[in-house]
Amino acid sequence: MQPNVLVFFTDQQRWDSTGVHGNPLGLTPNFDRLCRTGTHLVHHFTCQPVCGPARACLQTGTYATQNGSYNNGVPLNPDLPTIAKAFAGAGYDTGYIGKWHLAAEENSGAVPQENRGGYDYWLASNLLEMTSDAYETRVYNNDNEEVTLPGYRVDALTDAAIRYIAAPREKPFFLFTSYLEPHHQNHRDDYPAPDGYEEQYSQRWTPADLQALGGSSARHLGGYWGMVKRLDEAFGRVLDALKSLGILDNTIILFTSDHGCHFKTRASEYKRSPHDSSLRVPTLLHGPGFEGGRSFQPLTSLVNLPATLLDAAGIDVPDSMTGKSLLAEIRGDVKRAEGDDFIIAQISGAQHGRAIRTRRWKYSVSAEWTQTPRPESYTEEFLYDLQADPHELDNLIGRESFSDITEELREKLTAKLREIGEPEVPIRLAPARHSGQRKISLG
């Protein structure tokens, strides 16, 4: 029997908001529990730390420069193969609930049917942050009629997801539930947790990078942690619904997020940077194919997830998908070569950025933002030794003692960008800085 597939997708959630990544506040007992019984992708990263492009990558299994949605407001090409179309073609009911962010900006709420990525059931808003508030959830149905859902926004969407899951059907389902939380509420620039939650978590715990850099974390973390707590409670409710319906063991579950949050420390807003605070997100897989409590250690990317879900459901992965399935590697059937254990990220909106992250190193280049998919040249921006400096506080770019590792990472990044179809453009080297440290290499 074909498994059901459920995606529980959050927005702007840092990896260290979870207990399995060291958060001491007890915010995510349900996420943590499924990490222990399913497959925890320990080192998982977005390939595009911006809302719209990240979603385009997740719907298509391609990088933003491949699918064309390289910045917010650039709609997803309706002719592209998508994960929903692949599941529908394999006989699945497909449903989408929540935030879409892949139609044109003028469609802030209702999304024309041809721009819905191939989903059959629809209860969503293109820019949910613009059409709703914490206790005022407005979405649009298949007929583009406005629907107001009661309750706190997380709960309102969760209620809708449970109704979809529980509906009688003859076919398996693929349901994508896309929350806005813990993203900020744009028009107020705050993090509206459920009533009473912010007070529980204010001034309780601050991640080390934010302790060093500050930003807006002192003002916003209480609400942010409260939103994460309610999301995990909602996740638990969905799991309870699946269990009560007798389908939990035959449902593949993906929990992930589009990008993280640096709380105005790396730039004047919350994401769009090559730092782990923007790139690294909490991610797990659970259900058929992912049992056993695995902690999967190799670096993984959002672009891998569509192919992985299709593969686990026994569906052929479209040739159009750049991201490769992780299933065989998770099962232990194949082992990744050490030199292939890295991810890349493309950054847009505040800059044209490209970054490569290995287990130990982070290297990035950037150019001033223009409304085009790519610049004419890049300049080296950051180099971090993540082993010595896990919070990315000491930028090593330009230091002569690190010139060898910089060159190796530059070549590796350039080769990968060429592989995914980006035209090769020059990278201007950072000005040299003297230091007394010895030269070291990638190995």
- The confidence band for 105, taking pLDDT boundaries of 50, 70 and 90, is confident
- Identify the structural domains of the chain with CATH numbers, from first to last: 4-331 (3.40.720.10), 350-428 (3.30.1120.10)
pLDDT digits (tens, 9 = 90+) for 181-212: 999 999 999 999 999 999 999 999 999 999 99
pLDDT digits (tens, 9 = 90+) for 397-426: 999 999 999 999 999 999 999 999 999 899
The predicted structure's pLDDT at residue 370: 87
Q: Of 102, 134, 98, which is closest to residue 116 (Cα–Cα)? A: 102
Q: Of 127, 176, 139, which is closest to residue 9 (Cα–Cα)? A: 176
Side-by-side strand order, sheet with 93-99: 146-149, 137-140, 121-125, 93-99, 173-178, 4-10, 251-257, 284-286, 39-45, 294-301
The predicted structure's pLDDT at residue 349: 87
Cα angle: 142, vertex 248, 288; to 5 degrees: 100
Average pLDDT value for the chain: 95
Q: Of 100, 38, 99, which is closest to residue 253 (Cα–Cα)? A: 38
CB 141 within 8 A of CB 147: yes
- The confidence band for 435, taking pLDDT boundaries of 50, 70 and 90, is low
Segment among 32-41, 100-109, 337-346 with least mean pLDDT? 100-109
Q: How far apart are CA 409 and CA 404, in angstroms?
A: 9
Q: Report the sign of the C-alpha dihedral through residues 30, 36, 37, 40, in that order.
A: positive
Burial status of residue 238 (CB atoms within 10 A of its CB: 0-12, 13-18, 19 or more): buried
In this predicted structure, the answer to whether residue 266 has a pLDDT above a threshold of 50 is: yes
DSSP string, 101-169: --S-TT-SS---GGGSTT-SEEEEETTHHHH-BTTBEEEE-TT--EEEE-SSHHHHHHHHHHHHHHS--
In this predicted structure, the answer to whether residue 434 has a pLDDT above a threshold of 80 is: no
Tokens for 251?
Answer: 């449902």
Q: How far apart are CA 71 and CA 402, in angstroms?
A: 33
Q: What 3-state class would DSSP assign to 352?
A: strand
Tokens for 135?
Answer: 């206790």
Mean pLDDT over 17-43 rounds to: 98
Q: How far apart are CA 187 and CA 192, in angstroms?
A: 12
Could you tell me which residues come within 8 angstroms of residue 167 by beta carbon, excluding any fewer than 6 positions away? none
Cα angle: 15, vertex 8, 216; to 5 degrees: 40
Q: How far apart are CA 32 and CA 21, in angstroms?
A: 9
Cα angle: 15, vertex 20, 26; to 5 degrees: 95
In this predicted structure, the answer to whether residue 265 has a pLDDT above a threshold of 70 is: yes
Please name the amino acid found at residue 190. D
CB count within 10 Å of CB 340 equals 8
Q: How far apart are CA 426 and CA 269, in angstroms?
A: 28
The phi-psi region of residue 215 (left if phi > 0; otherwise alpha if psi is between -120 and 50; otherwise beta) is left
Q: Are strands 251-257 and 284-286 parallel, antiparallel or unpaired?
A: antiparallel
Q: Of 83, 283, 98, 233, which is closest to residue 178 (Cα–Cα)? A: 98
CB 346 within 8 A of CB 366: no
Could you tell me which residues come within 8 angstroms of residue 234 by beta carbon, excluding any fewer than 6 positions away? 154, 155, 157, 158, 179
Percentage of the chain modeled with pLDDT above 90 = 92
In this predicted structure, the answer to whether residue 277 has a pLDDT above a threshold of 50 is: yes
Q: What 3-state class would DSSP assign to 426?
A: coil
- Residue position matching structure tokens 């449903």: 95
Q: Of 278, 260, 274, which is closest to residue 353 (Cα–Cα)? A: 274
